[in-house]
Amino acid sequence: MLLAIDVGNTNTKFALHDGEAWRGSWRASTASTRTADEYAPWLAQLMGFQGLAFSDVTRCIISTVVPQALFNLRNLSRRYVGQEPLVVGEEGVELGIPLRIDNPREAGADRLVNAVGAHVVYGGPAIVIDSGTATTFDVIAGDGGLEGVIIAPGINLSLQALHTAAARLPRVEIRRPDQGMALGKNTVHAMQSGVFFGYIELIDGLVARLKREEEPRLGAPMKVIATGGVASLFRGASQSIEIFDEDLTSRGLLEIFKRNGGTL
Please, what are the domains in the chain? 2-87 (3.30.420.40), 104-250 (3.30.420.40)
Neighbours of 4 (CB within 10 A): 28
pLDDT single digits (tens) 159-214: 888 878 877 888 887 778 887 788 988 888 888 888 889 999 999 999 999 999 99
Query: If you average pLDDT over residues 248-259, what whole number do you get?
Result: 96
Nearest to 147 by CA among 102, 90, 207: 102
Question: What was the pLDDT predicted at 41?
Answer: 96
Supply the pTM of this predicted model.
0.90
Question: What was the pLDDT predicted at 173?
Answer: 79
% of residues, the chain, pLDDT over 90: 70
Query: If you average pLDDT over residues 13-20, what whole number do you get?
Result: 95
Question: What was the pLDDT predicted at 120?
Answer: 96
Question: What was the pLDDT predicted at 128?
Answer: 97
Nearest to 42 by CA among 57, 29, 23: 29
| DSSP-assigned letter for residue 78 | I
Helix (H) or strand (E) segment spanning residue 258: helix 248-259
Question: What was the pLDDT predicted at 93?
Answer: 93
Contact 264, 59 (CB under 8 A): yes
Which of 18, 37, 56, 110 is an active site residue? 110
Question: What was the pLDDT predicted at 184?
Answer: 87
Question: What was the pLDDT predicted at 119?
Answer: 96
Q: Is the dihedral of CA 97, 23, 31, 174 positive or negative?
A: positive
Task: Tell me phi and psi for residue 223, to 5 degrees.
Answer: -70, 150
Which of 9-13, 16-20, 248-252 is predicted with the least confidence, judged by mean pLDDT? 9-13
Q: Does the annotation mark 110 as catalytic?
A: yes
pLDDT value at 229 more than 80: no
Which pLDDT band, with edges at 50, 70 and 90, does 241 fall under? very high
